Structure 1
Amino acid sequence: MSEPMTLACPHCHRRNRLPAERLDQAPRCGACKEALFSGAPVDLGGANFNAHANADLPLVVDFWASWCGPCQQFAPVFAQAAGNIEPRARLAKVDTEAAQELAARFAIRSIPTLLIMHRGKEVARLNGALPPSDFQRWLDGNLPSA
């Protein structure tokens, strides 16, 4: 059995520890008993961002805003990718208007901006929206192993 890894629940944002080999066995949160993987991006803000960004599970973040046309066009591509990439990584959305402190912390200058976080560190960044195949290729080339 491998060393336990930590990941945050997409519902209550509590940290959970489980062996990596259990990721694809529909694990549930020890606190709220909800599924740890929902197949959809989780909305994050200042209060819950660090629980996910500091986890052992890679976090792919879409910094966006409701008034941004390219953000709106990319949203379905990002949502579909969540169902395909879990449990290899968690996908999250950060509304830059609602979470201005996070946008400033990560020096978001244009949107959409995509970040891959792993164990609290930024490992990849991309500005702009991508078609599904290019987004998947970017993920495959940049996602670290959990």
Structure 2
Amino acid sequence: MSAEPLHIVCPHCHTVNRVQASQLDQAPNCGRCHRPLFEGHPVVLDAEAFDRHVGRSHIPVLVDFWAPWCGPCRMMAPAFEAAARQLEPHVRLAKVNTEAEPGLAARFGIRSIPTLALFVGGREVARQAGALGQGDIVRWVRAALAGGR
């Protein structure tokens, strides 16, 4: 693995932090707000925070596009939360409320919810529509990152 530090965006203050890859599993804190960079919970993103997390992070970002009125979205929420505990610190999980952020939903052509979109290096690399359980989310992300979408 490269000796170059990774850029990790803080889920609390959205500051870009530099963290050595070897330190990801050592519960690093944000250099600005001093809170943990990883807590095993999805981060809620608005349009500005979305662009920072997806565009600046050196780790993959899995985004759940959802809406509060969507029954399958609410059913999947605990599984997505549990998947965050399994996938962090190597994948950041995030949620985008399509009702609050319709511009993001339109920008990415979200036609049904829930929709999971996996971003690597600022680019969408995989997409999955429909509710999944925790194990299916984790397997899907790992397969997509391994190139076996």
Same fold (TM over 0.5): yes
For 1:130, the equivalent position in structure 2 comes to 132
| Counterpart mapping for 1:91-130 below 5 A | 91-130=93-132
Partner of 1:35: 36
Counterpart contact for 2:64–2:117, Cα < 8 Å: yes
Structure 1, unaligned runs of 5 or more: none
C-alpha distance in structure 2 between counterparts of 1:108 and 1:24, whole Å? 33
What corresponds to 1:10 in structure 2? 11
* Within-5 A mapping of 1:11-26: 11-26=12-27
Q: Distance in 2 between matches of 1:131 and 1:75?
A: 9
> Alignment partner of 2:48: what SS?
coil
For 1:131 and 1:37, how far apart are their aligned partners in 2? 22
How far, CA to CA, are the matches of 2:33 and 2:138 in structure 1?
31
Matched, 1:90 2:102: no
* 1:132 CA drift (Å): 2.3
* Aligned position for 2:73: 71
Structure in which a larger fraction of residues adopt helix? 2
Tell me, in whole angstroms, the C-alpha distance in 2 between the residues paired with 1:72 and 1:39.
18
The structural deviation recorded for 1:121 is: 0.3
Q: In 1, distance between residues paired with 2:39 and 2:137? A: 20
**Helix, strand or coil for the counterpart of 2:86?**
helix
In 2, Cα distance between equivalents of 1:82 and 1:74:
13
Where does structure 1 differ by over 6 angstroms across 4 or more consecutive aligned residues? none
- Structure-2-length-normalised TM-score: 0.93
How far does residue 137 in structure 1 lie from its aligned partner after superposition?
1.3
Post-superposition shift, 1:131? 2.1
Deviations 1:77-100 (A, max 9, x none): 000010111011000000000011
- Identity, in percent, stands at 53
